[in-house]
Amino acid sequence: MATLARRGPYKVDRGDLGIVGMSGQIFAPRTGKDLPAVAFGHGWLVSSTRYRDLLFHLASWGIVVAAPDGSRGPFASDIDLGTDLRAAATVVKSVQLGDGSVTVDPSRVGVVGHGFGAAAAIRAASDQILLGRPPMSFAATAALFPAPTTADLHEAVKTVAAPSLIVAGSAHLASMTGNALAIAEGLPGDVVLRTLAGATDKDLIERPSVKSLIGGNGADSKVHKAVRAQLTGFFLHRLAGDGRYAAFSDPEATMGDVLAVDIETAERSELDHVSALLGSKPRSR
């Protein structure tokens, strides 16, 4: 965790997806052949620029990251963004990057999203046909502080075969703003569910501030550090095949403040979300 929370050994270049007709950005190691890659889905009402340090960090460890910027309005669709994620993944798999010296191995591509973007990542990795784009095989999936979108998302979850990592705030496993537990229960493949005490989805978003002048990114430093280590370790194991990081794919491994959750025994509230919001209490038995 301590090592992977720091920048990796690769120098990083940033590019614009506009060159292939998409809004968004791409981060890649300056050199490397047959690298792993991920498509990254942004949260609701924010763009990929709010994750610059996180995306740069993954690239510094040898992982190409493509982050499309569509579906940013108040009525954004996780299906639309999921379609964009598939398109971004297709781009990194099929083109040479930089000066032509950087290539991606098509069999080592994953997808990850934050909040609303986590639902889009699940859509992208599902067997559903999205806006005419056929299903795509991903080698790994990650959901960061996943948020509820539409009811049929759970049907999409059931068709995601890739091994998955889910990171959520401990108070938002099953709430009006978080559905990490429901997603973990629905995924048919290998699933790792981990929580951070006191963390929320907003803690990961980078915001310009006075601290930016001295190297800060405006996100909660503790949460950002934990998430970037978790993502890096998980993808280095699942996409790059590096056995040194196998613990990041172990559903029973707790790492410092990042706690493993047993999906089968995790507690759910007896109240529906609306009743909980109104302050109701469970009936005594």
pLDDT of residue 272: 45
Q: What are phi and psi of 249, to 5 degrees?
A: -105, 5
Q: Is the pLDDT of residue 5 over 90?
A: yes
Give the residue-averaged pLDDT of 101-106. Answer: 94
Give SS3 for 8: coil
Per-residue pLDDT band for 268 (boundaries 50, 70, 90) equals low
What is the DSSP secondary-structure string of 185-231? HH--S-EEEEEETT--GGGGS----GGGGGT--SS-HHHHHHHHHHH
- What is the value of pTM for the model shown? 0.91
pLDDT of residue 282: 46
Which amino acid, residue 211? K
pLDDT of residue 211: 55
Q: What percent of the chain has pLDDT over 70?
A: 91
For residues 265 and 119, the model is more confident at: 119
Provide the token pair at 171.
């108070």
Q: What are phi and psi of 119, to 5 degrees?
A: -65, -40
Q: What is the largest CA-CA distance in the chain?
A: 68
CATH number of 12-277: 3.40.50.1820
Q: What does the alpha-carbon distance between residue 166 and residue 164 come to, in Å, rounded to a whole number?
A: 7
pLDDT of residue 279: 46
pLDDT of residue 284: 43
Q: What does the alpha-carbon distance between residue 66 and residue 89 come to, in Å, rounded to a whole number?
A: 7
Provide the 8-state DSSP code for 276. Answer: H
pLDDT of residue 209: 59
In the chain, which ranges are E strands? Answer: 12-16, 24-29, 32-41, 64-68, 102-114, 140-144, 164-169, 191-196, 258-260
Provide the token pair at 134.
């056929």
